[in-house]
């Protein structure tokens, strides 16, 4: 059954696509700077508009991250365009990559972490802000040796529950929990 409690039913959600971002800005009568990417005018107006739209305590957080979301939507579009070109040269890239991940429990666990974290992120950030999301990811990642990816910190509130459930699940990974890993980009997380 769908959870319809207030904390799981946000009136304003973080946009997941360019269309949603444009729709949100239109709904809130906000403008995106046409010449300077990622600049959304008048933060206070954005906060007030978001409050009026029902974002309540999350209005400031959403207003603050909208420019960053806008930037990442542009990155996502670039990635999809790049992949369309790559797929013309080699078909089935996503599917082949995913079948390989599925064939390896450790890699599957990493994918599950991503999906579960994204799945609960909306409700977690309402309860505890973006820091709680990061903490949930970190806690969950620790169970499969990926915590260096997400940094160190404490887990709090609803994030802990989500991460503990995930932790119970990944503890049963065949072959046990692997050693910590490192790789390019990791210096940002250490």
Partner 1 sequence: MQLLLTAEEKQAFETLPTTLKDGWNISDETSTAYETPETLAIRYEMSSLKRHPQTKKILETVKQGKFEQAIMDGIPEDMLSDLFFTIGATGLSTIIKKLAAESQTDDDLAGLSSLTTIRHQLLLANASIHS
Residue number, 16 or 52, with CB nearest to partner 1: 16
Q: Smallest distance, Å, CB 129 to partner 1?
A: 10
Q: Smallest distance, Å, CB 48 to partner 1?
A: 21
How far CA 188 is from CA of 6, 87, 109, 148, 162, in Å, comes to 36, 30, 22, 9, 25
Q: Smallest distance, Å, CB 138 to partner 1?
A: 10
Instruction: Tell me phi and psi for residue 36, to 5 degrees.
Output: -115, 110
Residue number, 6 or 185, with CB nearest to partner 1: 185
Residue number, 50 or 125, with CB nearest to partner 1: 125
Residue number, 49 or 144, with CB nearest to partner 1: 144
How far CA 67 is from CA of 13, 32, 51, 62, 184, in Å, comes to 15, 9, 18, 9, 27
Residue number, 49 or 113, with CB nearest to partner 1: 113
What does the alpha-carbon distance between residue 150 and residue 148 come to, in Å, rounded to a whole number?
A: 5
Q: Smallest distance, Å, CB 31 to partner 1?
A: 20
What does the alpha-carbon distance between residue 80 and residue 85 come to, in Å, rounded to a whole number?
A: 9
Residue number, 49 or 140, with CB nearest to partner 1: 140
Q: Smallest distance, Å, CB 75 to partner 1?
A: 5
Q: Smallest distance, Å, CB 120 to partner 1?
A: 7
What does the alpha-carbon distance between residue 81 and residue 91 come to, in Å, rounded to a whole number?
A: 14
What does the alpha-carbon distance between residue 114 and residue 140 come to, in Å, rounded to a whole number?
A: 10
């Amino acid at each position: 059954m769908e959870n319809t409690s207030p904390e799981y039913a946000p009136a304003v959600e973080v946009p997941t696509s360019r269309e949603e971002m444009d729709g949100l800005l239109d709904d809130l009568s906000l403008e995106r700077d046409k010449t300077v990417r990622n600049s959304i005018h008048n933060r206070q107006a954005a906060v007030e508009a978001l409050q009026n739209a029902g974002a309540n305590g999350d209005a400031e957080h959403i207003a603050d991250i909208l420019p960053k979301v806008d930037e990442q939507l542009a990155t996502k579009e670039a990635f999809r365009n790049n992949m369309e070109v790559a797929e013309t040269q080699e078909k089935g890239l996503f599917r082949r990559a995913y079948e390989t991940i599925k064939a390896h429990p450790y890699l599957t666990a990493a994918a599950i972490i991503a999906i579960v974290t994204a799945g609960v992120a909306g409700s977690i950030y309402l309860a505890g802000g973006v820091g709680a999301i990061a903490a949930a990811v970190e806690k969950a990642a620790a169970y499969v040796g990926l915590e260096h990816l997400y940094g160190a910190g404490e887990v709090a509130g609803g994030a802990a529950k989500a991460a503990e459930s995930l932790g119970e699940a990944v503890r049963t990974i065949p072959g046990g929990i692997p050693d910590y890993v490192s790789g390019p980009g990791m210096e940002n997380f250490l």
